[in-house]
Amino acid sequence: RDNGNIDGDTAMGTMLQMGSNVAKTYYVNNMMSNDIKEAYLSGHIHIHDLDFYSLTVTCCQIDCVKLLKGGFNTGHGYLREPNSIGSYATLAAIAIQSDQNDCHGGQSIPNFDYSMAPGVYKSFKKALKDRYTKALDFIPDLTMFGFMNTSDEESFSFYDYLNSLSDNDLDNMLGYISNLITEVENGDSDYYLNIEHITKDEFKVLKQAYEDVEHQTFQAMEGFVANLNTLHSRAGGQVPFSSINLGTDISNAGRMVTKALLLNIKA
């Protein structure tokens, strides 16, 4: 029971404790000078994680911005670059679990909100395409040109417009739509939409897409919190020691991730 994250009553927990005590005995008797050994045995000093003394490093910060870009190998299989916020959150949990099996101590993602933002952009772009496509079934002449600020129907469709956007463009769009939704819901919708030269149908597409990615981000963070509290590591004897940051990415996507994460932690 010297490790609060290991259930010593389970079969694998018992095996870990047995191996831990054998390892400690070996290190004390074979890898310490007599003065250190005596100080340890008499209780004058404590050697943290003595059972892993010569096996591996302890504690690791995982750069998920770098790790998720292009995908990564867990040692048991290759995982491709994720394409949605749900997949980004799932692979972040897998990265923590995988590293927990290879290292001792805790695992942290110090740039968690930054690493999740690209997933928000990918899901947002897909939500915009999906909502626009569905709207065309009912409004065949819907062009979104008011939002795009262009009337070049021949050569530039809404799909072309979305495909041309960078992550920075998508982040600005997230902020713009969020503000537009607030203005419309708190005031005269006709007034605000006329100012922005956006039709009610165009606004509906934008609003639904924004709500879609907001919901998907919430579900992704819900799954991430659940995974960190249930994924087994180290031969099934424990769940990962995990730490993540909050609120360092102040982009619209980063803030959406932080909000969703806080709501799930609160729940």
- Report pLDDT digits (tens) over 68-103: 998 888 777 888 899 999 999 999 998 998 888 888
Specify the pLDDT at position 192: 84
User: Residue 206 and residue 254: Cα distance in Å, rounded?
Assistant: 19
User: Residue 197 and residue 182: Cα distance in Å, rounded?
Assistant: 17
The type of residue at 92 is A
User: Residue 257 and residue 10: Cα distance in Å, rounded?
Assistant: 35
First to last CA, the chain: 29
Q: Which residue has the higher pLDDT, 149 or 67?
A: 67
Specify the pLDDT at position 200: 93
User: Residue 7 and residue 80: Cα distance in Å, rounded?
Assistant: 33
User: Residue 85 and residue 170: Cα distance in Å, rounded?
Assistant: 14
The type of residue at 87 is S
H/E stretch holding 148: helix 145-148
- Give how far the C-alpha of residue 86 lies from the chain's centroid of Cα atoms, to the nearest Å: 8
User: Residue 85 and residue 65: Cα distance in Å, rounded?
Assistant: 13
| Residue positions counted in the chain | 267
pLDDT of 186-206, one tens digit each? Answer: 888 888 888 888 999 999 999
Instruction: Work out the pLDDT band at 249, boundaries 50, 70, 90.
Output: very high
Token pair in block for residue 133: 């496509």
